Amino acid sequence: MREHRDSIPEGAGPESRSVAGHITTAASGLPRAVNLASAVGGGGEMDDDSAKGKPARLPSFSFRTDLDRVYLELGGPAPLRGSIDRNTFARCCNEFSLRKVEPTLRRFQKDRDIAKRHWPWVAFALDQYRFERNQLQRRGATLNPTEVVELLNDIRRSAKKLASSLGRLQEYSYSVGDPAAPFRKPHLAYLDQFISQAAAGHIAAEVNKSREHMAHVFFGKQSFLKQLIEVEVAAGEAAKRADKSLLKRKKGQADPALYDLVWRGAEIWSSLTGRVPSANRVHRRDSGEPYFVLFIQDLVRLASGERPSRKVVEISLGKRRTPDAG
């Protein structure tokens, strides 16, 4: 123990630390650390600024993302149908990184470059799937037939009430003045004209009292009232024409967004593997799930969805439709 204490240099107290075999105090450690960092960054030689105790200049470098490398080194994403801009790909690839998606792609395509060129499309499909799933599964996302008819009737009643209220305000503004409230009539006229300007499509912070403008507002408001009456009539007729059998949703899978994911996944699968997407077991020599089903199941897992069965994938594949590319 004595030999150990004797080997500690003088001044090496609790605020001292060892750097590259040297003892530095808290007061002098920062410049020395900066010099060491500069020496490492410069290949072992300290520059003039470091020698003078100035902060070291950090080397400049450009950062390339995995998506940048797909465009620069591989010619961009695989040429699938549809046109997705690079900014959209970047946003989706940021959510579903290459490190996260590549294992699934390499499971079915051993060529890494081919797999990487399909990664942006998978990221886009997963982003769309997650968005659509959240939208379709949220409470009140869809209306049942009765709610659709009630909504149309609400539109009819609202149009009728608005037209009636605008007419009543105009009527009161032209009513006989009341001696007990001498300012009521002019103020009602002001309020009516203020709202009439908006109804005519000329909303403003104040009332324009020019004769020409007021005439223009009057005819514009009459046109608006006519439109409200037409909306009332049309909404009432629409409520009568609503076919509940067409509005009723058939009992289906718990994940309605899976249809579009299977459609997008089928296109990616064909390009990725050169094989036709199929959910039939005859395409496997063993009794395992078809490869395309495994592919879709992996995609759903990446988006934190519930694993679909082979039958559900088969039904979705049979109902393939063309979703919006964006």
Give 288-315 pLDDT, tens digit per residue: 789 999 999 999 999 998 899 999 999 8
Mean pLDDT by 10 residues, the chain (326 residues): 42 42 40 38 44 53 86 95 92 96 96 97 96 78 84 96 95 86 91 95 93 94 96 96 83 76 95 92 66 95 92 84 40
What local confidence, expressed as pLDDT, does residue 282 receive?
58
* Nearest-angstrom CA–CA distance, 258 and 225: 45
Q: Which residues contact 214 (CB under 8 A, 6 or more apart)?
A: 193, 208
* Nearest residue to 77 (alpha-carbon basis) of 116, 124, 103, 104: 116
Contacts of 260 (CB under 8 A, 6+ apart): 128, 129, 132, 321, 323
Q: To 5 degrees, how large is the angle CA 74–CA 83–CA 96?
A: 60
At 174 the pLDDT is 86
Quote the radius of gyration of the chain (alpha carbons, Å).
Answer: 36
Nearest to 207 by CA among 220, 190, 222: 190
For the chain, the domains span: 2-51, 66-142+249-326, 145-247
Q: Cα–chain-centroid distance for residue 280?
A: 34
Torsion angle (degrees, nearest 10) of CA 111, 114, 120, 124:
-90
222-246: b or e for each residue (b if 16 or more CB lie within 10 Å)? Answer: eebbeebeebbeebbebbeebeeee
| DSSP-assigned letters across all residues of 247-284 | HSPPP--S-TTHHHHHHHHHHHHHHHHSS-----GGG-
For 187-224, the pLDDT digits (tens) are 999 999 999 999 999 999 999 999 999 999 999 999 99
The model's pTM is 0.55
Task: Give the per-residue pLDDT at 143.
Answer: 80
Position 93 scores a pLDDT of 97
> Taking a C-beta distance cutoff of 8 angstroms, is the pair 101, 118 a contact?
no
**DSSP reduced 3-state for 130:** helix
